Amino acid sequence: MDSIVVTGGQELSGEIPIAGAKNACLALMPATLLSEEPLTLTNAPRLSDIRTMTQLLQSLGAEVSSMNDGRTIVMSSHGLNGQRADYDIVRKMRASNLVLGPLLARHGRAVVSLPGGCAIGARPMDIHIDALTAMGAEIELKDGYLHAEAPGGLKGGTVTLKFPSVGATENVLMAATLAGGTTIIENAAREPEIVDLATCLRRMGAQIEGDGTSRIEVQGVDRLGGATHPVVTDRIELGTYMLAPVIAGGSVECLGGRMDLVAAFAEKLDAAGISVEETGRGLKVARRNGRPHAVDVTTEPFPGFPTDLQAQMMAMLCTAEGTSVLEERIFENRFMHAPELIRMGASIDVQGGHATVRGVERLKGAPVMATDLRASVSLILAGLAAEGETVVSRVYHLDRGYERLEQKLGAVGARVERVAGQ
């Protein structure tokens, strides 16, 4: 397996282009299953998860091709010949479950393996199942697969999510576009990726109102057409690279960044003594004066502080002045990066869903191991502030969510190198 070697102590200066959102693209791609006409996505990220979703759609009979060095994805589902999402593909990525709603809506049948992905705690499918059942689906779990049917077609109604799950909202939203009558999604997720999906579906002819709020209303239509849609900026990649100059020192402009995508995160940076300036091209980030200050962080559904930036924020707080408390409210087992940061000299005490971080003046390079996607990049960020060399192993997680990280950080002065595994 490949490793990433980081040599700390380099201040950063320059520009980092931010890619299209992984989590948005992984929801937009299954939308092609709703129509016989082509769906084209621009500003697509070039990631292993995108390749996995491509394989899944192709296994169902969809045509998927990439253009413009992978930044444009052209899809057509006019010749679908399957409704089964096999374990061998689905186990690699949790977002594979997003084919369930579209397949049910268009074909009335789907067989989908229970999904895989990062080991950051249980992320059950019950919210998806309950919501689709409320729309008339009959779903049974057999041999690790969800067997779903809607013999009379999906029907509109009020679907109340017990938690504002992004994935469940996306699955129901896509299913509702072709369901009979009106579907109202209560306690819907409000993330920018939901708004991006709804915008794309409207371009395909769907009738959707209320996306970006906790109540979404969808009037079902008989058919959807094709569309061309640009993928929204990746707010998690944006937040990750915003932290790089905070940890290493210097100043970086994140091209394509938008304040509305990271408002809660930017508020915490401001409280920590970090300057975040909107420019005509993105967001420019730099320390105001010396080391950042400690801040407390609680992860919450959007528009709160994102769980996908918790690990990176912890890496920054390891060298902040004072004591910070991070509370993880979205996923259990999402402090697995803490023991690796401790190997680098961090002072962290984890008790259940709380982590207390006492800032130290400097971290020290060490061999560490990535446990999930966001943990892997948090260790690389920590390496930017560490004395000597940090070797991050098991970085196959990293390639699921960050395209060309070594080149992007290297372009602003970081010493980051990928070493091929034996």
Q: Is 200 a catalytic residue?
A: no
Query: Any binding-site annotation on 84?
Result: no
Q: What is the CA radius of gyration of the chain?
A: 21
Q: Are 33 and 67 in contact (CB under 8 A)?
A: no
Q: Cβ atoms within 10 A of the Cβ of 151, count? A: 9
Under 8 Å CB-to-CB from 188, ≥6 apart: which residues? 161, 164, 169, 173, 194, 210, 211, 213, 214, 215, 216
Does the bond joining 45 to the residue before it have cis omega, within 30 degrees of 0? Answer: no
330 is in an annotated binding site: yes
DSSP 8-class letter at 289: S
Q: List alpha helices for 204-344, DSSP H.
A: 235-248, 263-271, 310-317, 338-343
Residue 308 assigned as binding residue? yes
Whether 230 contacts 43, CB under 8 Å: yes
The catalytic position among 118, 200, 254, 318 is 118
- 223 marked among binding-site residues: no
Residue 296 is labelled as binding a ligand: no
Q: Are 330 and 301 in contact (CB under 8 A)?
A: yes
Q: How far apart are CA 65 and CA 268, in angstroms?
A: 40
Q: Count CB-CB contacts under 10 A for residue 33.
A: 26
Active site residues: 118
Q: Which residues are annotated as a binding site for phosphoenolpyruvate?
A: 22-23
